[in-house]
Structure 1
Amino acid sequence: MPAQSEPYEAPAIVTFAKELEWRRTQAGLSKKELAEKLGFADSYVGQVELRKNLPSEEFAAALDTFFKLDGLFIRLLDRINDTRHLAILPPGFTEYLGYERKASHLRVFSTNLVSGLFQTEAYSNTVISAIMGSESARLVAERMERKAIFEREDAPHTFLVLDENVIHRNVGGADIMREQLGYLFEVARRPQTQLQVVPYKSGYHAGLAGSFALLSFEDGPDVAYTESSGEGILLKQRDRIALQAVTWDLVQGHTLSAEESLAMIQDAMEKL
């Protein structure tokens, strides 16, 4: 995988990088000196230590041989490969999922695509495979597993708002989109769930800045998660949570009723 501008933050990648840096400095070697001894470019050693690039199997094996280790770096690389999909998730998203599993109330607004928690497997696969390539199957499976929260005895009260743009964007072809819209009908019929649509005729509204979710809990403060242009931010600060709550209220002020929203979705299905 090519180098990126921001460092990878997945724990396994961080551990590999720190172990490499520690072993190198303990041996009294610069990045260039270690690279020469291993037969790799010094820039590559630096990129791995700074987590701007992922280590190769050849590099891990060379480190084990040079430092006379019993497969330590190979084992660390195996752990990276097992969890590498976490490194390509938006920042804060993994922590957000922990909160999502415990939430008593969900308020979710989607501006361009159906939010992951409410996607069908086919729709999800279309979206994820276009971005993640070989990691898509694992990520799709994990996305589907998130729906288990709705099977709890204390399933969260859920409020889902979609911009009309979401139901008209043909993702994956007519069959996949028809199935997805049908699934939204199922979502809307769940106990403790409300689905509404913001129509085009509303013009500009506060939600067009990006999708977001607000989570509430029986025994803790709210958290929020926002996404825009593939970047995610987990929000815990009270002032920023309050601002997202205001945005939610402003968006909801533009929604159709639940009945009108389902009628719009039905119409979109019939036109596919």
Structure 2
Amino acid sequence: MPRRPRDPGVPCSPTEYFGTELRAYREASGLSRPQLSERLGFTPQWIGQVESGNSAPSEEFAEACDTFFGTNGVFHRIWKWIQELGRLQVLPPGFRPYAEAEGDASYVKAFAPLLVPGLLQTPDYARTVLEVGQRPGKIEELLAVRMERQELLAKEDSPWFLFVLGEYALRRKVGGREVMCGQLERLQDLASQPHITLQVVRDDAPVYQASGFVLLEFKERASMCYMDSGGGYGPLLENPRDVDERAVAFDQVRSAALPAGDSVRFVRAVMEGL
């Protein structure tokens, strides 16, 4: 069956949607592009590029549109949508649904047997991890997204976090001694915050869950689980039975972990022994 052609009047991206709304408000005001240019202080060519969806608006331009048209932040909200979509498009396809849901969670439970989780990584540690198999130009974009995700840890309404790390993740000298010392020091600092709990599973503990995963719990929607298959290509589980099985696995892993206080002391001992 031949594909149905897309209606040229229907925006297919936030950038096109911004342009469509801008054109509608301009025409409703009876203004030409040169006339709007005089009032906003941007060239008619720039306005034309934005209206056609060929150029993304700047934050300054979005705010100028809101002020001139009295739209109570509509254009700025679309601009933020454009930024958010651009941030997500940098991520591997399998990780994007998780990243979108992460900010809405009320409780985040993560098991990480091999590496320190991205939410807890220092920039140097994260850069070392991201450099493997990535084009040089993409590394900084991915690093910026990872660091931005960490803002979730400091939000006023931040979720509760429970991280269970394998001993191997602490002893593995990612990036060398200096980078790893900085990472272990950060883990101790984060563990001192009341909404973040850190526990460690020793290598000799009876734990046979080889791959990491993250459970997200929400106040008004069903829980989900992201399976870490490496490189951000793991599946996002939403079937209640599958998620419940991972929740049981997490409880089993946690039951074999050191208590929180002992875990922080263990992290400190590993750091001092590097």
- TM-score norm. by structure 2 comes to 0.66
The answer for unaligned runs of 5 or more in structure 2 is 7-53, 56-81
Tell me the secondary structure at the aligned position of residue 148 of structure 1: helix
Change in Cα spacing, 1:108 to 1:84, as seen in structure 2 (3 Å) is closer
AA matched with 2:128:
T
Q: What is the distance in 1 between the residues matched to 2:261 and 2:126?
A: 26
Q: Compute the displacement of 1:90 (Å).
A: 5.1
Equivalent residue, structure 2, for 1:170: 173
Aligned length: 198
Equivalent residue, structure 1, for 2:14: none
Matched, 1:225 2:226: yes
Equivalent residue, structure 1, for 2:112: 110
Q: What is the distance in 1 between the residues matched to 2:148 and 2:91?
A: 18
Q: Compute the displacement of 1:129 (Å).
A: 1.3
Equivalent residue, structure 2, for 1:248: 250
AA matched with 1:219:
E
Q: What is the distance in 2 between the residues matched to 1:188 and 1:176?
A: 19
Give me the CA root mean square deviation: 2.7
Matched, 1:99 2:101: yes
Equivalent residue, structure 1, for 2:216: 215
**Greater than 3 Å deviation, 4+ residue runs:** 82-88
- TM-score norm. by structure 1 comes to 0.67
Measured against aligned partners, the alpha-carbon deviations of 1:189-232 in whole angstroms (never above 9, x if no partner) come to: 112221000001114x2432x11000111111101101124331
Change in Cα spacing, 1:87 to 1:191, as seen in structure 2 (3 Å) is closer
Q: Is the 8 A contact 1:164 1:200 kept in 2?
A: yes
Equivalent residue, structure 1, for 2:271: 269
Report 1:1-272 matches (<5 A).
86=89, 89=92, 91=94, 93-133=95-135, 134-203=137-206, 205-208=207-210, 210-230=211-231, 231-272=233-274
The answer for unaligned runs of 5 or more in structure 1 is 1-17, 24-74
Tell me the secondary structure at the aligned position of residue 143 of structure 1: helix
Q: Compute the displacement of 1:254 (Å).
A: 0.8
Q: Compute the displacement of 1:88 (Å).
A: 6.2
Q: What is the distance in 2 between the residues matched to 1:191 and 1:90?
A: 33
Tell me the secondary structure at the aligned position of residue 222 of structure 2: coil
Q: What is the distance in 2 between the residues matched to 1:229 and 1:195?
A: 22
